[in-house]
Structure 1
Amino acid sequence: MRTTWESERERQPLSLDGQVWMTGDIRLDRRHELLDRLRAAGCHPEREAADVDLVLHAYRVWGEACLERLSGDFAFAIWDGPEQRLFCARDQFGVVPFYYAETTHGLVVSNHLNCLRLHPHVSDALNEQVIGDFLLFNMNQDLDTTTFADIRKLPPAHILVWSHGGVRVRRYWQLPQDVAYVRYKRPEMYIEQFRELFQRAVADRLRTDRAGTHLSGGMDSTSISATAYQVMTAMNAPAELRAYTIVYNRLLADEEGDYAAQVAETIGLPLEYLVAEDYIEQAPLEPPAHVYPEPLAIPNQVAEVEITRRIAQHSRVLLAGFGGDPAFYPSRSYWSQLWQRGELLHVMQDTLSYMRAFHRLPRLGLRSLFRRQRSSEPPKIEMPDWLNPDFIERLQLKARLQERLTASPQTDRYGMASAPLWSNIFAWSDPGFSGFPVKVRFPFFDVHLVQYLLSVPPAPWFERKFLLRQAMQGVLPDAVRLRAKTPLQGFAHYNLMQQQGLQPWMVKLVTTPALSPYVNDCCLLQRLQNLAELTPVIYNQSIPVLQLGYWLNHQYHQKINF
């Protein structure tokens, strides 16, 4: 799929000499820097060469060490004929999927899961551990498995080498630990550096003249949309950026549309609204227009699916604001670390900076840290009572649940490279999963941007995303820029359930025969019928059962058609 100007000239599979061949899904950051490095090494590709060409040139010059010079969104495979070796890699954050299956005759790889399922030696057998994860957490918690037992994922920032019939997988990159904080003399320097890196991250993902963007009333999507509009209008050529906002009219009190409208009017974006209830209230489409390769939501009940469909009619690129929360996640241990290291001067300097920013003293978090250290009470384990006991025992799901609930939360910048949530979101967003010819771009997941944020003192810059808000001064309207983070108030699906009760389509999905190894349908239906005792937590736990039933009805053991 061609999403950049350079990719218009792309031809795959690609070879420079007839001996080393390559195929891949590649969008590079900082192309000009890579070109300069290649020229310095005696290699002279055309300046407008496609990204896949540049990667193959880099491999020819540096071998596996080429990955030290690459950043962006990519998954590729290189067959090295002279070495009789297949060399594969996935980008640092895992934005582009990479699937593989070992068979008796070799190795099958693809960035689309369904392509591997077409192979006659790749079975349809399910991975029950992943099914258990989906029913407990609504997503796979492992970075290297899929719903199908024979098909694996290459984790983010890993390489795979196949030679002489054997597979080796290893990590090639990780975010640096114990990064020293940069101490600029002027506060404005933090903002200027961030603004430069952020604009570059957006521009690297916008090498096109047509794109779409999600636009809510929060800081993340609005900052990306405004920066994208600046980038595209600076091209001195016709360009089109369209924005889409999801609003609630009946099930929730919602002001997002009003704030999104202010942003669109300020920066001059055309804006389309989608009403969430128009999709949530639908019964599942039968037969479905598209079935996902792995269990997920029921597509026609999700407004975001309609946004992607509309964007596909005019563009191949969608900008998403995911990643802003972990990128600017405030450190709860920052002040205690300064005290422990005896950095009293920085304590005083950062306290003054904090007071100038927020007109109050910072909460140092020492008492909270002390309470956490003293607390030994384990979290309460809530296993849904409709899961079959033998399934729970066979998969050791209680231990799995406890392991995940007691693990350290991956909510900060380091979690961007390792938390299962992001790996799943990237997979769900890929065209091979969504079914739409649209590439979703995630500007916050830029290696250079995240590495810079690791070096920024958390106070005051990450408190309430202060750094981002300062960088957007004069770009976003103050009503949005200074607005406190405002999550949706309530649970729309639960509110609809309380209004309408158990629907026939829900009964059909819960009683799907293929669910019987995992779910006691009578127990779950009793829970869903008793609206007086149905809590938001219980209903939220039941949703993956409905989604899995829908997927099993339409995907498992069915012939894949392209």
Structure 2
Amino acid sequence: MSGIAGLWRLDGRPGEPAEFDGMLARLAHRGPDGTGAWREGPVALGHGMLHTTPESLREQQPLVGTRGDLVLVADARIDNRAELCSLLPAPSDATDAELILAAYERWGEHCPEHLLGDFAFAIWDGRTQRLFCARDHFGVKPLYYHHRPSRLFAFASEIKGLLALDDIPRRLNETRIAAYLVPLFEDKEVTFYEEILRLPPAHRLTVNRDGARTERYWALDPGHEIRLGSDKAYAEAFRELFTDAVRCRLRSAFPVGSMLSGGLDSSSIVCVARELLAQGGCPRPHTFSAVFDDVPECDERRYIETVLSGGGVEPHLIRGDKVNPVERLEQDLVQQDEPFYAPNLFLHWALYREAWHAHVRVLLDGLDGDTTVSHGLGYLAELAQKGRWLRLGREVLGLSHHLRRSPSVVLRSYVLRPLAPDAVRLLWRTLRRHGNAQPASGTLVDPSLARRSGVESRARTEQAAQRAAL
């Protein structure tokens, strides 16, 4: 989690050192191991270092190429190092930043297509007078930017870094606010601030004095299928990929940790990580869990302890029921820069603080395994579309018992509503709103804001796309 920032005065005016220093100061928490800056005329690049991997201990950024005409700043962990070292070629102990810069020298704007890992980086190319930026396939590393043609281009790992510049407006984006309240997630670029955008996952951005161009360099192919001979073969292939994914993220010069909620995601990660670290003769991984002794219906201690009983870890438990959810709300909002969809974020921050106190700098966690490995609630609509009525009935009854809601409510919410034609859904919403001033689409959006932002039509388009994907 290093921090990067940069600006280019497109009008040719030299940048003021104080304004760029202000950008880096806003990102200081991302770079506790030192900051660096490079300036040349109207261009400035900066980096805040957080050492994690063994190679990062020798890393110096901004990194200037051997000819002096390429300059890189990167927040990155590159996983296909052996492949890159053989293709470029590069020494096996090259830093991740050196590999990225060498990849750009070899493949130019196509270099992100050859990288595997988590990364956000920017390269100033003095030969062509352009700035090239890229973000990893799933958008793990953040990158925000502001572009005012012929005047200014600026980027940073966090929005607060951009807001350090007086040139950048501080106007709320009403369209994003309305989408947040619906909620809508289809726009991967927009933020809560007008004229501040995020570079979407799997995209590259090229900027020169004539303008800026974004392009997608990778997309998941939903139609691609892997055909294997048996369930056992699928399980073995998944285990191999999963184990390799965990192994890539264990490359650390510091203690490694993992969240452990007791769920399938984090439990699987912990079990694989401790086995790999033991095989390599490395220190035990730390685990971080929240328990709820005073709220037993929320407590998953027994699942956590099942994993811990296998040994090979250094466990840390915090009392989640003793953490005040509003005590650090202001700090959390400052840290996030925007409203968020995580009412339990206060628990995560408490666990992160515990990890920092344990000197852990690589912290693993499971994310969205329910919809990747098992299935989400959309599975019910899939069963209905395929006519698997007996299985659908069993799933509805099971979910009804688990959620403590009637089977009819489950069926209506997760089967009938998603599959209903647009005309039926529109009629139903009209009847529900008839005679009163309910917010648009039954959401928290004020009707006048809904009209100005067009969120209702966007919501219908998004819902139609989701149904078509079932």
TM-score by length of 1: 0.60
Structure 2 residue matching 1:196: 3-state secondary structure: helix
CA shift at 1:119, angstroms? 1.4
Question: What amino acid is the match of 1:2?
Answer: H
Cα gap change, 1:271 to 1:7, in 2 (>3 Å)? same
Q: Does 1:129 align with 2:163?
A: no
Task: Report the equivalent of 1:112.
Answer: 158
Cα gap change, 1:392 to 1:223, in 2 (>3 Å)? same
Matches of 1:300 and 1:196, distance apart in 2: 32
Matches of 1:181 and 1:203, distance apart in 2: 23
Task: Report the equivalent of 1:144.
Answer: 189
Cα gap change, 1:32 to 1:397, in 2 (>3 Å)? same
Contact 2:78–2:118 (CA under 8 A) maintained in structure 1? yes
Of 187, 197, 203, the match for 1:158: 203
Q: Which has the higher contact order (CA 8 A, sep 6+)?
A: 1
- Residues 217-273 of structure 1 show CA distances to partners (whole Å, capped at 9, x for unaligned) of 221110001111112222224x24211222334456134111111101213323222
The worse-fitting range, judged by mean Cα deviation, of 60-69 and 198-207 is 60-69
Task: Report the equivalent of 1:453.
Answer: none
Of 114, 121, 138, the match for 1:76: 121
- Residues 168-217 of structure 1 show CA distances to partners (whole Å, capped at 9, x for unaligned) of 01111111242243223x54333332222211111111111412211122
Q: Superposition RMSD on alpha carbons, in Å?
A: 3.4
Q: Does 1:14 align with 2:49?
A: no
Q: Does 1:318 align with 2:376?
A: no
Matches of 1:147 and 1:410, distance apart in 2: 29
Percent pairwise identity: 33
Contact 2:122–2:131 (CA under 8 A) maintained in structure 1? yes
CA shift at 1:111, angstroms? 1.7
Contact 2:290–2:351 (CA under 8 A) maintained in structure 1? no
Task: Report the equivalent of 1:305.
Answer: 349
CA shift at 1:142, angstroms? 1.9
Contact 1:216–1:245 (CA under 8 A) maintained in structure 2? yes
Cα gap change, 1:150 to 1:393, in 2 (>3 Å)? same
CA shift at 1:390, angstroms? 3.1
Matches of 1:132 and 1:375, distance apart in 2: 21
Q: Does 1:94 align with 2:139?
A: yes
Q: Does 1:37 align with 2:87?
A: yes
Cα gap change, 1:374 to 1:108, in 2 (>3 Å)? closer
Task: Report the equivalent of 2:396.
Answer: none
Contact 1:130–1:140 (CA under 8 A) maintained in structure 2? no
Q: How many residues matched?
A: 375
Cα gap change, 1:241 to 1:134, in 2 (>3 Å)? same
Task: Report the equivalent of 2:107.
Answer: 62
Matches of 2:167 and 2:91, distance apart in 1: 41
Task: Report the equivalent of 1:391.
Answer: 449
Task: Report the equivalent of 1:417.
Answer: none
Structure 2 residue matching 1:119: 3-state secondary structure: coil
Cα gap change, 1:211 to 1:387, in 2 (>3 Å)? same
Unmatched segments (≥5 aa) in structure 2? 1-49, 388-414, 430-437
Cα gap change, 1:34 to 1:160, in 2 (>3 Å)? same
Cα gap change, 1:76 to 1:335, in 2 (>3 Å)? same
Contact 1:92–1:173 (CA under 8 A) maintained in structure 2? yes
Matches of 1:181 and 1:386, distance apart in 2: 43
Cα gap change, 1:405 to 1:284, in 2 (>3 Å)? farther
Structure 1 residue matching 2:425: 3-state secondary structure: coil
More strand by share: 2
Contact 1:133–1:141 (CA under 8 A) maintained in structure 2? no
Q: How does 1:126-525 map to 2 (within 5 A)?
A: 126-137=172-183, 141-184=186-229, 187-208=231-252, 209-237=254-282, 239-251=283-295, 253-280=297-324, 282=326, 291-296=335-340, 302-313=346-357, 314-329=359-374, 372=419, 377-378=424-425, 383=439, 387-408=445-466
Task: Report the equivalent of 2:36.
Answer: none
Structure 2 residue matching 1:114: 3-state secondary structure: helix
Matches of 2:334 and 2:80, distance apart in 1: 36
Cα gap change, 1:403 to 1:250, in 2 (>3 Å)? farther
CA shift at 1:2, angstroms? 1.5
Contact 2:131–2:207 (CA under 8 A) maintained in structure 1? yes
CA shift at 1:283, angstroms? 5.3
Cα gap change, 1:140 to 1:119, in 2 (>3 Å)? farther
Contact 2:77–2:118 (CA under 8 A) maintained in structure 1? yes
Matches of 1:5 and 1:411, distance apart in 2: 43
- Residues 351-389 of structure 1 show CA distances to partners (whole Å, capped at 9, x for unaligned) of xxxxxxxxxxxxxxxxx89x9488963276584686544
- Residues 291-332 of structure 1 show CA distances to partners (whole Å, capped at 9, x for unaligned) of 431123799971111101111221111111003223224578
Matches of 1:337 and 1:182, distance apart in 2: 23
The worse-fitting range, judged by mean Cα deviation, of 246-255 and 101-110 is 246-255
Contact 2:61–2:73 (CA under 8 A) maintained in structure 1? yes
Matches of 1:334 and 1:398, distance apart in 2: 25
Unmatched segments (≥5 aa) in structure 1? 340-367, 413-562
Matches of 2:290 and 2:331, distance apart in 1: 26
- Residues 23-51 of structure 1 show CA distances to partners (whole Å, capped at 9, x for unaligned) of 1111112211121222xxxx3x2211111
Matches of 1:168 and 1:54, distance apart in 2: 24
